[in-house]
Structure 1
Amino acid sequence: MTEPILVLADAGAWEAWLAEHHGARSGVWLKIAKKGSGATTVTLPEALDVALCHGWIDSQRKRCDDTYYLQRYSPRGPRSPWSQVNVAKAEALIAAGRMRPAGFAEIEAAKADGRWAGAYEAQRNATVPPDLAEALERSERARAAFEALGKTDRYLLVLPLHKARTPESRAARLRKAIAALEADPL
């Protein structure tokens, strides 16, 4: 891990760090206190809100020790998809007057290239898209394999369809999903 590991007491410390370093770093790991550990750090929701304000996003999470886990934050990439959850968070941060210029720039870029309007659903709200439902109706084997999947595995199968940026890539991802389901040994 070559990126720095930060232990920050609260959202204000994370805000101050990002205000100074948001354009000069490729990413950092934050030590986040586990619930019940007795340690005090910025919380996960606070850290994400501050990151979004500065055009950054969360990604990997790793175990650290019995007190902390590590959460990676980095500048949002030019093709980084937006979730509907983060779109709603960003809109609330704008309404609260917290969004910073770098955060606004990422939002404008996402609006310009369709990532904002094409934000993907959260797992708890995800539905089977009509094109996948139609393909499952045409393949009994794929439908049986899909129905045998748990909620998380279904979401992992549907998510690439939601993230597809062109009709061609969506069709290719749909074919790949159906082929994978048909190959499932059940």
Structure 2
Amino acid sequence: MVDRANKPELHVDTVADWEAWLDSDPDPSGIRLRLRKAATSRPGITYAEALDVALCFGWIDGQKQSLDADYFLQTFTPRRPRSMWSKVNIGHVTRLIEEGRMRPQGQLEIDRAKADGRWDRAYRQRDGDLPEELQEALNADPKIAEAFASQSAQNRFAMAFRVANLKRPASRASRVAEYVEMLKRGESLH
């Protein structure tokens, strides 16, 4: 696997250029796409435009990296077989399908996610919804709830995400118990 720093940079000036590149049998290790910042008048495409096109082709965004005053780099790679979907991206692809923009590669990823349950287990970003098992554990012990609340947003999200994406109830209960013990010890994931 090619690490992010070694992925090639791609500079495109139009959405059509980005679509053409994705249509040209691109390197499956992905790229770092140069995107223009909102405040610049320089040529290029925006993050929102790039993400829409990527989703249409079955690709997904990754880490962002600063470049200069006018541009940043955004990693894009093909969606991995078991990668989770966010509610935000489900909303995007629903809109893209309605607009008639979805490509066969993107539809294939949607169909796979629906078939294996990832579509229904899509996670919410930043909205505070906790899996039922985790919420019950927090409700049962105010000290644990306080320890959880004192965690960084990154840690709270990671715990909720990891619990929510376990399929079996026994696995979810076990993970919650593990996190409760971790919180009792004053530890965090990151």
TM-score normalised per structure 1: 0.88
In the TM superposition, what whole-angstrom CA distance separates every residue of 1:136-183 from its partner, at most 9, and x where no partner exists?
233333111123345454323312122223334322332232222212
Which residue of the partner structure matches residue 160 of structure 1? 162
Q: Which blocks of at least 5 consecutive residues in structure 2 are unaligned?
A: none
Structure 1 residue 176 and structure 2 residue 178: aligned? yes
- Describe the SS at the equivalent of 1:81: coil
Which residue of the partner structure matches residue 101 of structure 1? 104
Alpha-carbon offset, residue 20 of structure 1: 1.0
Alpha-carbon offset, residue 121 of structure 1: 1.1
1:88 to 91, 101, 104: 91
1:10 to 14, 34, 39: 14
Distance between the aligned counterparts of 1:169 and 1:49, measured in 2?
A: 35
Q: Give the share of equivalent positions with the same residue, in percent.
A: 39
Distance between the aligned counterparts of 2:9 and 2:167, measured in 1?
A: 34
My pick for the range that moved more, 167-176 or 10-19, is: 167-176
Distance between the aligned counterparts of 2:71 and 2:182, measured in 1?
A: 38
Check the 8 A contact 2:35/2:74 in 1, yes or no.
yes
2:53 to 50, 53, 61: 50
TM-score normalised per structure 2: 0.87
CA RMSD of aligned residues (A): 2.0
Structure 1 residue 114 and structure 2 residue 117: aligned? yes
Pairwise mapping of residues 20-99 of structure 1 onto structure 2 (< 5 A)? 20-22=24-26, 24-99=27-102
Check the 8 A contact 2:12/2:18 in 1, yes or no.
yes
Return closer, same or farther for 1:147/1:53 CA change in 2, 3 Å cut-off: same
My pick for the range that moved more, 45-54 or 66-75, is: 66-75
Structure 1 residue 142 and structure 2 residue 161: aligned? no
- Describe the SS at the equivalent of 1:57: strand
Distance between the aligned counterparts of 2:14 and 2:71, measured in 1?
A: 14
Distance between the aligned counterparts of 1:49 and 1:178, measured in 2?
A: 39
Q: Which residue identity does 2:135 align to in structure 1? A: A
Equivalent residues, number: 184
